[in-house]
Amino acid sequence: MWINDKNSLIRIAASEADLLASQRLRYRVFVEEFGAEGPGVDHKNKLETDQFDKWFDHLVLIDTRRDEKSLDHVIGVYRLLRGDIAKKCGFYSESEYDLKPLVSSGRSVLELGRSCVHPEYRGGTSMFQLWNGLAEYVLFYSIDVLFGVASFQGVDIDLLSQPLSYLHHHHLAPSGLRVRVHDTHYEEMNRIPESQIDQRSAMVATPALIKAYLRLGGYVGDGAFIDRDFKTVDVCVLMDTKRMSERHRQYYERNRATA
């Protein structure tokens, strides 16, 4: 699967260079930019890795003008794990969330993660191109539900009372898909009464990626998780592809027909 657009190329990582360049980009964004640490951080080689990388498909956005030999060519990445593959290795987010409602639903699921774009390419079409590739992937594998951890920067959860409470009151997943943070790490999202939520402030404080998921009809799971290694507060976002608006559905089908 690939999409070619002038100086950019979207494909599933096709070589070791693609994978290493993805891990190099993750290091630049998550470690150098946001201060992440943990056992998968390789400062010597400037790579961010973990044991799940070998199981995930890596959807990469490539600038064909950049040097592949220096691992500089990947400018955007999404990590994708289908439910049938996860039977062999488990899901990444299982360490944070009880996924039983999702796994037992009998539906085809896809876990998303490690999404990032090179700082020099933000604000343009890069994220749109990645979503274009993701839509192609979803259609090809007939995925019913997308899910994955999405993050707020920082670990002071009290500073996130407005956005977390807004998500809880307005976008909580239905019971059939409502995954929940494990009890040992559960942080309440319902932190202030609904009547005290300033919707504008809540949305300003919500990362763009989470807002994009919500616009596609996304939900959030029950509870937040504080990731000390990545220095983030995580929520689990879920998207039922059958719930997407007709406008987005037509866009995906049109994209599939012309790919």
Q: What is the mean pLDDT of the chain?
A: 89
Greater pLDDT, 6 or 79: 79
pLDDT (tens digit per residue) in 148-187 = 999 999 999 999 999 999 999 999 999 889 999 999 999 9
Q: Which pLDDT band, with edges at 50, 70 and 90, does 80 fall under? A: very high
Average pLDDT value for residue range 61-89: 92
Q: What is the pLDDT of residue 249?
A: 56
| Neighbouring-strand partners of residue 192 | none
Amino acid at residue number 100: K
**Residue 255 pLDDT greater than 70, yes or no:** no
Element (H, E) at 16: helix 16-26
Count of helix runs (H) and strand runs (E) in the chain: 8, 13
The whole-angstrom separation of Cα 49 and Cα 42 is 8
First to last CA, the chain: 9
pLDDT digits (tens, 9 = 90+) for 93-104: 999 999 999 999
Q: Give the confidence band of 258 by pLDDT, cuts at 50, 70, 90.
A: very low
State yes or no: pLDDT of 38 exceeds 60.
yes
pLDDT, tens digit, 9 for 90 and up, residues 187-225: 999 999 999 999 999 999 999 889 988 988 899 999 999
- Indicate the pTM of the whole model: 0.88
Beta-bridge mates of residue 3 = 10
Residue 167 in contact with residue 207, Cβ under 8 Å?
A: no
